[in-house]
């Protein structure tokens, strides 16, 4: 397909996206994000850059490719003050915009075109922690008429999204969780993979307890938030501080109306 045809295709997608989402803007103040990395936890908003790739065993299977070896990592950590990342305002981040970073490119209209993804838990956890991870996936999958997120128990895939454990401190991410997204080869508008990593330097619990100074975090709260970034929901803290997608060091185990309506704006 030549450049002019691609331009027209992408312009058409953007027009369709705006028309689709405008029908839902009266119902939702959800925020949409397409950043390479979004993190959850407590602290102030920061931005930094790092270089490198994750090892192959941390990547989702099924053909997804790493977006870039030079990552622009956005640490969007909202606290009680509910500060949005500097590049977003409540207006530019609202559901009908559908714009953000994919790799090094600013993109409007990217999404999971299939409206479905399979995922796998690579944490190695058992018991209540494993249950918390699987329950988080089930909660997003239960959002009606939107996106099918199904668990694949096979250790070898193929699946499009993964949850794992890794030392994020070595990447310059001293926070409990981070999420990466992937695109189809040659098409930055077609998201086909995602992964979330929980920081192995933190202590994890299933009781809802958070203590940023001692690096303690609740499994369900963090992974439920990070999975929302798989579908490219952003942090709506300015207007919806109680939403799962507003990153705060407090227990949040259930999706709010704003979380749900954000999904419906993207994938109805």
d(CA 76, CA 92): 16
pLDDT in tens, 149-185: 999 999 888 889 999 999 999 999 999 999 987 877 8
Predicted TM-score (pTM) of this structure: 0.69
Answer yes or no: is pLDDT of 233 > 60. Answer: yes
pLDDT (0 to 100) of residue 16? 53
User: Comparing C-alpha atoms, which of 221, 64, 231, 223 is closest to residue 146?
Assistant: 231
Sequence-separated (6 or more) residues with CB below 8 Å from residue 180:
36, 37, 54, 67, 194, 195, 196, 197
pLDDT (0 to 100) of residue 74? 26
Which sequence spans correspond to the domains of the chain? 3-267
pLDDT in tens, 16-68: 545 544 444 434 444 434 333 344 554 323 222 222 334 344 444 443 333 32
d(CA 63, CA 192): 8
Q: Would you state the structure tokens that stand for residue 63, as one six-digit string?
A: 């053909």
CATH class of 3-267: alpha beta
d(CA 163, CA 186): 25
Name the band, by pLDDT with cuts 50, 70 and 90, for residue 70: very low
d(CA 25, CA 145): 17
Q: Would you state the structure tokens that stand for residue 61, as one six-digit string?
A: 């299977």
Answer yes or no: is pLDDT of 214 > 90. Answer: yes
From 141-145, 148-152, 235-239, the region with the lowest mean pLDDT: 235-239
Q: What average pLDDT does this structure show over 186-196?
A: 85
Are 65 and 87 within 8 A, CB to CB? no
d(CA 99, CA 119): 24
pLDDT (0 to 100) of residue 23? 44
pLDDT (0 to 100) of residue 183? 79
């Amino acid at each position: 397909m030549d450049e002019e045809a691609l331009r027209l295709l992408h312009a058409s997608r953007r027009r369709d996206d705006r028309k689709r989402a405008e029908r839902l803007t009266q119902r939702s103040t959800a925020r949409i994000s397409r950043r390479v990395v979004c993190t959850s936890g407590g602290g102030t908003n920061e931005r930094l850059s790092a270089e490198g790739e994750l090892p192959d065993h941390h990547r989702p299977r099924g053909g997804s490719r790493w977006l870039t070896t030079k990552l622009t990592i956005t640490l969007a950590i909202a606290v009680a003050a509910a500060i949005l990342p500097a590049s977003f305002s409540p207006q530019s981040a609202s559901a009908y915009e559908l714009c953000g970073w994919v790799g090094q490119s600013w993109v409007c209209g990217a999404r999971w075109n299939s409206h479905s993804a399979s995922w796998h838990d690579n944490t190695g956890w058992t018991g209540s922690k494993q249950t918390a991870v699987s329950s988080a996936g089930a909660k997003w999958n239960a959002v009606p008429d939107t996106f099918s997120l199904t668990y694949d128990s096979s250790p070898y895939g193929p699946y499009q999204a993964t949850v794992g454990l890794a030392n994020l401190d070595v990447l310059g991410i001293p926070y409990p969780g981070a999420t990466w997204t992937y695109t189809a080869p040659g098409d930055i508008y077609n998201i086909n993979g995602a992964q979330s990593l929980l920081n192995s330097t933190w202590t994890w619990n299933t009781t809802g307890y958070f203590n940023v100074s001692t690096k303690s975090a609740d499994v369900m709260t963090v992974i439920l938030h990070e999975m929302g970034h798989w579908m490219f929901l952003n942090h709506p803290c300015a207007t919806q501080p109680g939403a799962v997608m507003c990153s705060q060091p407090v227990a949040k185990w259930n999706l709010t109306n704003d979380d749900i309506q954000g999904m419906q704006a993207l994938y109805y």
